[in-house]
Chains A and B, each alone.
Chain A
Amino acid sequence: MIELESVGYSYGRSTPLLSDLTVKLARGSFHFLTGPSGAGKTTFLKLCYLELTPTSGRVRIFGHSGSDLGRDHVALSRQKIGVVHQDCRFLDHLSLAENIALPLTVSNRPVPQNDLSDLMAWVGLTQQAGQRPPELSGGERQRAALARAVMTGPDVLLADEPTGNVDWEMSLRLLHLMVELNRMGKTVLIATHDMALIRASRQYVQARVLRLQGGRLTLAGADL
């Protein structure tokens, strides 16, 4: 699905934030990405969905090299990737329901209202369907971001701290949703520093845990 081959990235002329990362997110795999703040987890995710272009190495996405893809192909690839951004960016002039349906809207696909209602109910946002994003709390925005990411039934789900602003009960509900998606054959990568969530996931899914530290990627294990 997504492969990073000796990928490095640096912002400007500073010391590279990421160096020589090689990893493959196979179809149906479930990964966690951990690491201290500033280790480059968000940058790693941005490289995965081609918002950033690596300064060295190559990102392959659905079998194509990211550097060979034109802007339209990048857009089409993103229609198959659901992304939960850490900063939960929405269109403030649209209602929450319209925001969640946005990936379908921009790809000119019909919005199945029943699925939309079910999904909003599942993340506990039925009452907020008509509200504008600025009216929502941090946790509500995070749940809405996850709902938007999975609305299209993407092949890959990339989530950046998806449980950062929600309580433990909701964290587990969101984790269950992502596990369910993984069971449907979707590839899932969750960037988080929430070790409890990673431990909790063990009873539901066999996940690989990647650790970013010092710009390098290692496979975490026993210390979790």
Chain B
Amino acid sequence: MTGLAALLALLKGDAQADRVVPPSGFTARLTLFTAAAMAFLAVFALALSLAAGRLADNWSEALARSSTIRISAPAAQMDAQAAAVLEVLRTTPGVAEARMLSSDEQAALLEPWLGPGLPTDTLPVPRLIEVIETSDGYSSDGLRLRLSAEAPGAVLDDHTRWRKPLVEAAGRLRLLGWLSLILIFGVMGAMITLAAQAALAANAQVITVLRLVGARDAYIAGAFMRRFTRRAGVGAMIGTGAGMVAIAFLPASTSDSVLTGIGFQGAGWITPFLIPLLGAAVALFATRSAAFRSLRNLS
């Protein structure tokens, strides 16, 4: 039987077969609650992972395409060296745009440390030139060589030094998000396995009678699998719904921050709907494994 056919058969169910297994109390509630709680957590882990991924991509893309040239020269040579640098950049392949930051922009950059109203014109503040690359990029080593020849006070900072750890951190955060999802579904599987084993042990007499009247293991296991898969699916739907509502009500922000960026964007809102399906699949395999193992041990 193909996987799809098995899933359809599961959804269709077998009312008669399902009735031969008596209704179970606490295992049903445990499965429902576990699935709901884990799905709720899974929504957050998924949102965190997606947000970290977006952040890593943004940082990686934005920082990789921009760099800064700092000119530290005596005041008399500053304008000449700045002009020389701009000329070098104008003729450097891979440079899409280069512009000198204005005094106001430089004051804004220094404001967090030195306070507002900084007179940058009267202070020996280095000149900053922002460089935007083309998609092909430029040769950093080649540009450094040319700058050292044309403007000795110019230093190229291509952001590699601090871009790399940031992107790596964001990437690891994304990885942790996925790892959390795996752990969440692992815990869900373990809990449902325990619940299924408890249900099977509680129904040992029923299983013995079913075996004696000719029921195959697949028939008995199928009744338990359907029951636990449905419960886990319903629980995961409830948990996912609650998680999505909670995410939707998180404060929104346009800044590139992990905390304020947690959430789903655009088509990303579809991804949480996979959680109930995954939860049901985890329950299906966990119950199947527990059922066949228990059936072998019971008789």
Do the two chains bind? yes
A residues engaging B (CB < 8 A)?
49, 51, 71-72, 75-76, 78-79, 83, 85, 89-94, 98, 102-103, 105-108, 148
Contact B214 A71 (CB under 8 A): no
Closest chain A residue to B22, Cβ basis: A93
CA distance A93 to B223 in the complex (A): 15
The answer on a CB contact under 8 Å between A103 and B19 is no
Residues of A within 8 A of B295 (CB): 71
Separation of A79 and B215 alpha carbons in the complex (Å): 8
Chain B residues 195 to 246 lying within 8 A of chain A, measured CB to CB, are 205-206, 208-219
* Cα A173 to Cα B22 with chains together (Å): 33
Q: Taking the nearest CB of chain B, how far is it from the CB of A79, in angstroms?
A: 4
B213 near A71 with CB under 8 A, answer: no
A selection of 21 A-B contacts at a CB cut-off of 8 Å is: A51-B212, A51-B299, A71-B216, A72-B216, A72-B217, A72-B218, A75-B214, A75-B216, A78-B211, A89-B212, A91-B209, A92-B22, A93-B22, A102-B20, A106-B17, A106-B20, A106-B210, A106-B213, A106-B215, A106-B216, A107-B215
Contact B213 A93 (CB under 8 A): no
User: Interface readout for B261-299 with A: 1 if CB under 8 Å, 0 if not?
Assistant: 000000000000000000000000000000000011001
Chain A residue contacts of B206, Cβ below 8 A:
91
Contact of A98 with B216 in the complex, beta carbons under 8 Å: no
Q: Which residues of A contact B205 (CB under 8 A)?
A: 89
The answer to whether B214 and A107 touch across the interface, beta carbons within 8 angstroms, is: yes
Q: Chain B nearest CB: distance from A120 CB in Å?
A: 17
Supposing A89-B208, A106-B219 touch, asked if A94 and B19 sit within 8 A by C-beta, the answer is: yes
Cβ–Cβ < 8 Å partners of A71 in chain B: 216-217, 295-296
The binding surface of chain B is classed by DSSP as helix
CB distance from A172 to the nearest CB of B (A): 26
Kindly provide the distance from the CB of A131 to the nearest chain B CB, expressed in whole angstroms.
16
Contacts of B208 in A (CB 8 A): 89
Determine if B91 is an interface residue (Cβ-Cβ < 8 Å). Answer: no
Which of B23, B213, B216, B218 is within 8 Å of A102, CB to CB? B213
Verify A98–B19 contact, CB threshold 8 A: yes
Q: Which residues of A contact B253 (CB under 8 A)?
A: none
Chain B nearest CB from A189 CB (Å) reads: 16
Do A103 and B20 contact each other (CB < 8 Å), given the known contacts A89-B205, A91-B206? no
**B217:A75 contact, CB within 8 angstroms:** yes
Total A-B pairs, Cβ < 8 A: 62
Interface residues of B in 108-122 (CB under 8 A from A): none
Question: A182 CB to closest chain B CB, in angstroms?
Answer: 21
Distance between Cα atoms of A78 and B214 in the complex (Å)? 5
For the complex, is B16 an interface residue (Cβ under 8 Å from A)? yes
- In the bound assembly, the distance between CA atoms of A91 and B215 in angstroms comes to 13
Taken together as a complex, chains A and B put the C-alpha atoms of A102 and B223 apart, in Å, by: 14
- Measured CB to CB, the nearest residue on chain B to A93 is B22
Q: Which of A72, A76, A78, A92 contacts B212, CB < 8 Å?
A: A78
Measured between beta carbons, the chain B residues less than 8 angstroms from A105 are 16-17, 20
Across the interface, do A76 and B214 meet the contact criterion of CB distance under 8 Å?
Answer: yes
Q: Which of B81-120 contact A (CB under 8 A)?
A: none
Residue in B closest to A49 when the chains form the complex, CB atoms = B212
Q: Is the CB of B20 within 8 A of A91?
A: yes
Closest Cβ of chain A to B203, distance in Å, is 10
Most chain A CB inside 10 Å of its own CB: which residue of B17, B19, B206, B212: B212
Chain B min CB distance to A187 (Å): 17
Minimal beta-carbon separation of B214 from chain A (angstroms): 4
CA distance A51 to B213 in the complex (A): 11
Q: Which residue of A lies closest to B215 (CB)?
A: A106
In the bound complex, CA of A78 to CA of B217 (Å): 13
Q: Across the interface, name the chain A residue whose C-beta is closest to B211.
A: A75
CB A100 to nearest CB in B, in angstroms, measures 10
From known contacts A102-B20, A105-B16, infer whether A90 and B209 are also in contact, taking CB-CB under 8 Å: yes
Shortest CB-to-CB span from B212 to chain A, Å, is 6
A103 pairs with B213, CB closer than 8 A: yes
Q: Are A78 and B209 in contact (CB under 8 A)?
A: no
Chain A residues near B22 (CB, 8 Å)?
91-93
In the complex, how many angstroms separate the beta carbon of A188 from the nearest chain B beta carbon? 18
> A76 CA to B218 CA in the complex, in Å?
12
**B-chain residues with CB within 8 Å of residue A107 when the two chains form the complex:** 214-215
**Bound-state Cα–Cα, A106 to B223, Å:** 11
Residues of chain A with a CB closer than 8 A to B20's CB = 91, 94, 102, 105-106
* Complex CA distance for A121 and B211, rounded to whole angstroms: 27
Most buried by B among A71, A72, A94, A107: A71
- Report the bound CA distance from A148 to B213 in whole Å: 9
Would A89 and B209 be within 8 Å (CB), given that A98-B19, A102-B20, A105-B17 are in contact?
yes
